[in-house]
Amino acid sequence: MRQPLVAGNWKMNGSLASVRELLAGIKAGIGDIKKCEVAVCPPYVFIPVAQEALSGSSIPWGGQNLSTEVSGAFTGEVAGSMLTDFGCTYVIVGHSERRTLYGEDDAVVADKHAVAREAGLKPIFCIGETLEERESGITEEVVARQVDAVINASGVESLGDGVIAYEPVWAIGTGKTATPEQAQDVHAFIRERIAGHSASVAENVRILYGGSMKPGNAAELMEKPDIDGGLIGGAALKAEDFLGICKAADDSV
């Protein structure tokens, strides 16, 4: 039985005041969420604020990115050890915005996945196809390539140290959600691909769906057998909406 996880990816949003308010709102409603793990990934500078608000609660926090390097002259970069210093449990790697806007290819993502684990962080490893790739019928080829990059670099067991987020790029921030059937098909494919290397890792690894998930569509996605939670962008910025998705995940167990 895989425990669902709903993680908020706040991206580059918020102010000190709004982040404090959002954290307080999530904390106030978390008592209703019994079985689903709930996590937040604020921008780097707000991580100490999350740490202060969430220490002692059931809510872990994480970064949205990390450097491939451990330390040194890399202006503007943040190392995995710095995230663990501030109590982070998770770190997102390979988000499609990093891949498309900042040129992170499969090799860089595999490197970040490895560096995150070495620092003691659980990677939230994002994969997914663009609209053009889906329309060309190569969705499975793309996600297989992305998953294989990590398996080839670090071994299949490395996937068991974190979670995978299947995020069709055409569904991120667009209001277009994959249908539960479309998402389930890809999630099942990913799990099968992993099972080709290790049945136990495949059985235990949590595969989250991400892409315009909202309280109104979360329940039908979460009820699919291979969808183990969500990585949430826009809807994670309002405590009420985020908690609505967490509740749907909670009720799916």
Interface residues with ligand PEP (CB under 6 A)?
Answer: 9, 167, 172-173, 210-213, 231-235
d(C-alpha 83, C-alpha 148), whole Å: 26
Name which of 184 and 212 has its Cβ closer to ligand PEP.
212
Minimal CA–CA distance to 244: which of 19, 33, 1, 20?
33
Minimal CA–CA distance to 40: which of 249, 230, 170, 169?
230
Q: What is the secondary structure of 58-124 as a DSSP string?
A: S--BEES---SSSSSS-TT---HHHHHHTT--EEEES-HHHHHHS---HHHHHHHHHHHHHTTPEEE
Question: Which residue minimizes CB distance to ligand PEP?
Answer: 233
Name which of 147 and 172 has its Cβ closer to ligand PEP.
172
Instruction: Say which of 37, 95, 104, 133 is annotated catalytic.
Output: 95
**In the annotation, is 220 catalytic?**
no
Instruction: Say which of 104, 129, 133, 167 is annotated catalytic.
Output: 167
Name which of 213 and 248 has its Cβ closer to ligand PEP.
213
User: Which strand ranges, in their side-by-side order, compose the sheet holding 122-127?
Assistant: 37-41, 5-9, 229-232, 206-210, 163-166, 122-127, 90-93, 62-63
Name which of 73 and 101 has its Cβ closer to ligand PEP.
101
**In the annotation, is 113 catalytic?**
no
Q: Among all residues, which ones are annotated catalytic? A: 95, 167
